[in-house]
Structure 1
């Protein structure tokens, strides 16, 4: 059983890494996209955020379907669908058609978020759940690291669209693997006792709100770090991508470390609040460095990118534990909807703010979001419930 659950986790992480590299890898192609299409930074940022429209449209639906039909079917359909849409994005012409294909890819890819979290809730008990969810959440920085490492050089060699064929291919292969390895826990296999809505407790709402606010530093780093290094610090895209690939790997390690930390202190929210405070400080350091010293700006950029990646696993674990098995899929769908709603706003809004007032003030404005999250994070009275789906 031990080997089985870790094998399930491994497949989930690889599948989600491939999906993330496609859905959130477009920002690493922004300089090439702007050159090829002749579009502004705001337009490119909007196009890079297109997958989030599909994610938002389908998250809660996929969560309800996962609660009803189990993880295997929904994750398989979603992973294969993401790959097919990624191939379409690479082959069709025109920015508008590319945007539509990316929206569709996001719609399919969102299924992996809710079903993979639900599968981990089933496989791991409360003493290891923080670690397991941290490993699962490391798929996002791992996917971004993969995208940062391969998409800029592939885009230079093949074209920015054709570079998307690689992550799309990973999704197609992993869709087949998921169908074989990942188990399923549909509603019929569980108790028929009707669980009350977990949303009667304000703690779950506060987790959703705080984690949505923490998307700002995370997506400012993920979407604009390469553009900042290329346009403001005069780095070439391949070198900047290589650096950010390493930084995203460190962010993956940070998510795992945060999960272990939460298991050790028997709290998801205390570590999350400390990380939110650190994210605020690192954003301010980036802003000050842009004014006074390029090395300080680089330090702040790296710190933001690593630190902002850390709390996602904590918020997802807390959401699953507070919701309980009967509501886990839907609650994680709501959690993801809040985060991706904020993420959808970050790319065009931050690009517009930078254009209007410059990088330093825009970064200071972005630092307000994690600061507010510090106060919202529901540390007092936190009582994670040791819930799990049947194994």
Structure 2
């Protein structure tokens, strides 16, 4: 029986499955490298095609969801993804490994179509539920992304060992097809208001939407500098064993993910806890924890570890309130376009941190790099993030 809760849970399930499908790929990269007989540069092209596809397709998918409804967009995206993943399975089964461009193109199409799910229209949540649940439900949708990524990492390791690369791609396609069936049976769109008939891109003329997106880019630069390089920084500055550093990174992600949900839900139920306070406050926590690294090896070891862990937790906790703010700011008629823009901005932020860190370390050193790519972006985001507003973005 269709209900708003069944539709929400189906959307949540779709998010988890597609996050598992595409975010689990990098963690299993060495297994795919062996199975597809790729060298390191070819592996980078293969996996990079998925990352690029998500960046370039999420905003268009969000605008399409505003215009045509989330259900139609989900079904279209899922259908294309199933076909592309099946094509990857067939291509991988051939006696001669297909050219790299064929594999990369199929993965690009699959991940790009998956953007219909990973950049979903928040207009559905805003249309189904009253205002006191908006931040909670958007936060849960956002929090399902890393959950899916973690499940995908485990699933790929098991499937590749048991079924090989061909069976793994077919299994991924089957899981997506099952989600598509659930969407067809249980999902439906909320009633569309008159404002939904206008161009969905109209919300992008609101400067507040762009300010939120820019802060998403900046905060993701800081977040992924810490998540990607914390173990390296702690090892090179304080001789912390790499295994210990990676353990602390896991702690950051687990505690940060829990705080992400609590902070997002809290903005619905605690009158004094606004979304702007959460995002700005967590940004400033990162600044205060990362700026002391400019002292380099003069910083006490245990203090350095503690500061890095706290910065990592804060860096993983802002997304729920941040994405909720974007959806509520844009309103039901424009939330898809706004969230798509926000997803694109955060993806670019993660990419920027990972690419620029190496250049900065060569030009300077880790203390200066942590300041430039960690503390400074978080500080700018805290200044730029707009205040809460009950008004919808102008069309």
- Same-fold status (TM-score > 0.5): yes
Aligned to 1:21: 20
Cα displacement (A) at 1:274: 1.0
Structure 2 residue aligned with 1:337: 344
- TM-superposed CA distance for 1:141, in Å, is 1.6
In the TM superposition, 1:1-391 aligns within 5 A as 4-30=3-29, 37-39=38-40, 48-89=47-88, 92=92, 93=97, 96-151=101-156, 167-185=172-190, 189-191=192-194, 197-199=202-204, 201-220=206-225, 233-235=241-243, 248-263=253-268, 264=270, 265=272, 267-281=274-288, 283=290, 303-351=310-358, 353=360, 361-367=368-374, 368-379=376-387, 382-385=388-391
Write the distance in 1 (CA, Å) between the matches of 2:158 and 2:300: 29
Relative to structure 1, is the Cα distance of residues 250 and 141 closer, same or farther in structure 2, using a 3 angstrom cutoff?
Answer: farther
Report how many aligned residue pairs link the two structures. Answer: 377
Looking at structure 2, the residues matched to 219 and 286 of structure 1 have their Cα atoms a distance apart, in angstroms, of 16
Say which SS state the counterpart of residue 326 (structure 1) adopts: coil
Q: CA deviation at 1:107?
A: 1.1
Moved more, 352-361 or 274-283: 352-361
How many angstroms apart in 1 are the aligned matches of 2:234 and 2:153? 13
Which range moved further: 143-152 or 262-271?
143-152
Q: Is the 8 A contact 2:86 2:169 kept in 1?
A: yes
Deviates more, 1:332-341 or 1:163-172: 163-172
Instruction: Report the Cα distance in structure 2 between the residues aligned to 1:235 and 1:109, rounded to whole angstroms.
Output: 34
Deviation string 1:101-142 (CA, Å, 9 cap, x unpaired) is 332222111111343422212222211111111111111121
Report the CA distance between 1:376 and its aligned residue. 0.9
Deviation sequence 1:233-259 (CA, Å, 0-9, x none): 4549xx96x987776454432222121
Q: 1:60, 1:330 within 8 Å by CA — same for their partners in 2?
A: yes
Question: In structure 2, how many angstroms separate the alpha carbons of the residues matched to 1:364 and 1:108?
Answer: 37
How far off is 1:300 after superposition?
5.9
> Compared with structure 1, are the counterparts of its residues 71 and 18 closer, same or farther at alpha carbon in structure 2 (3 Å cutoff)?
same
Point out where structure 2 has 5 or more consecutive residues left out of the alignment: none
What is the CA–CA distance in structure 1 between the aligned matches of 2:106 and 2:233, rounded to whole Å? 27
Q: Distance in 2 between matches of 1:99 and 1:229?
A: 35
Distance change >3 Å, CA 39–CA 87, structure 1 → 2: same
3-state SS in 2 of match to 1:138: helix
C-alpha RMSD over aligned residues = 4.2
Shift of 1:149: 3.7
